[in-house]
Amino acid sequence: MNVDTEKLVEEIDQRKDELIDLVKQLISYRTPAPPARNTGDAQLFIANFLKKYGFDIDMWDVYPGDPNVVGVLKGSDSNQFRSLIINGHIDVAEVNEHENWEASPFEPIVKDHTVIGRGAADMKGGLAAALFAVQILRERGVELHGDLIFQSVIGEEVGEAGTLQCCERGYTADFAIIADTSNLYIQGQGGVITGWITVKSRETHHDATRKDMIHAGGKMFAANAIEKMMKIINGLQELERHWAVTKSYPGFTPGSNTINPAVIEGGRHAAFTADECRLWITVHFYPHETYEGIINEIEGHILHVAKGDPWLRGNLPSFQWGGTSMIEDRGEVFPAFEIESGHPAIQLLSETHSKVTGKTAVIDVSPTVTDGGWLSNAGIPSAIYGPGQLKYAHSVNEQVSVPQLIEFTKVLIMFICEWMTTKKNG
């Protein structure tokens, strides 16, 4: 590698005000999800930014008003040299009008070496720093031999997986960095899937017939779907306790694999016996597990529970898993993924982090989820690595440290210069 990275790193310190301004500019775009459908202007800004620095732009609507942006900078010898995806989401957490912010959430301020505003930590700070790294590399004429793919996606906050569409569109690389909130730790993640369990009667009955269903001699073989759902919930709790005893994963506290009964909907009117009940659950699972495997475990257990009940045996519960959007169809999937600690990119990222920060890189697992699982699911070795602490994400007065933004930008520039000027078999 013939690039003088020391000069590039020094330039980041000299131009830190430009970095801060770029973070503030991204925050000023109001892109909360929900309500979503509001990222067009912000994504157009990113598309124009990347285009200015030589990227070919692919921009398409995932939903009306919410486009993805992918910029591709072709390397000088793409077939021989390593490629990289930088991935981030432009949507931010919703804002409640009654929250007590120090300033308007979308009018960012800088105070005590932090940028404060909605999305500062999650994750417009990471996006802006990655863009700034691109800007410096391009302005200084650094030639990259491999392809650099920059993805600014929508929908991560509400499970709309703009990243999944990037994968389905065929974008791939030898490694992917998800520049999301990780406090500059190198992380994998567990997974999350939501699901609906429905108990439904084939018949509907007047509430006055209840005495004939539940008392001796009533001779009416029927049931209240809400009450039968209680057995399903008990079954889920039994499975959750079983998982807590029998499953574990390094970096997670015992029992982190949970089954949360989040929402229950049932019945139609007080004058009817409830003929249907729907339970919305959220399931957290470990990095080495798949959501397909988790679905099979839950369905298998609950069907056994149901077959132990005389009425449920003939009215088995049905299941609906995941979804493409918490807004559109009330469902989401975040696949889990593990860090390959021996992968050359992880080793290089760790070494680069240590050079820049003077600290040993932490390789662990995120306690939350990102779109990174979709990249890993597509066969792309991936890691979450970005500025910002999780405790500030989604919070009132959300913030990100300016020194950490600078460190992240330096690490990213040095990593890109080394990774993308190394042959694939190097």
Catalytic residues: 91, 156
Instruction: List the alpha helices (DSSP H) in 216-366.
Output: 225-246, 291-307, 344-357
One-letter amino acid of 418: E
- Three-state SS across the chain? CCCCHHHHHHHHHHCHHHHHHHHHHHHHCCCECCCCCCCHHHHHHHHHHHHHCCCEEEEEEEECCEEEEEEEECCCCCCCECCEEEEEECCECCCCCCCCCCCCCCCCEEECCEEECCCHHHHHHHHHHHHHHHHHHHHCCCCCCCCEEEEEECCHHHCCCHHHHHHHCCCCCCCEEECCCCCCCEEEECEEEEEEEEEECCCCCEHHHHHHHHCCCCCCCCCCHHHHHHHHHHHHHHHHHHHHHHCCCCCCCCCCCCEEEEEEEECCCCCECCCEEEEEEEEEECCCCCHHHHHHHHHHHHHHHHHCCCCHHHCCCEEEECCCCCCCCCCCEECCECCCCCCHHHHHHHHHHHHHHCCCCCEEEECCCCCHHHHHHCCCCEEECCCCCHHHCCCCCCEEEHHHHHHHHHHHHHHHHHHCCCECCC
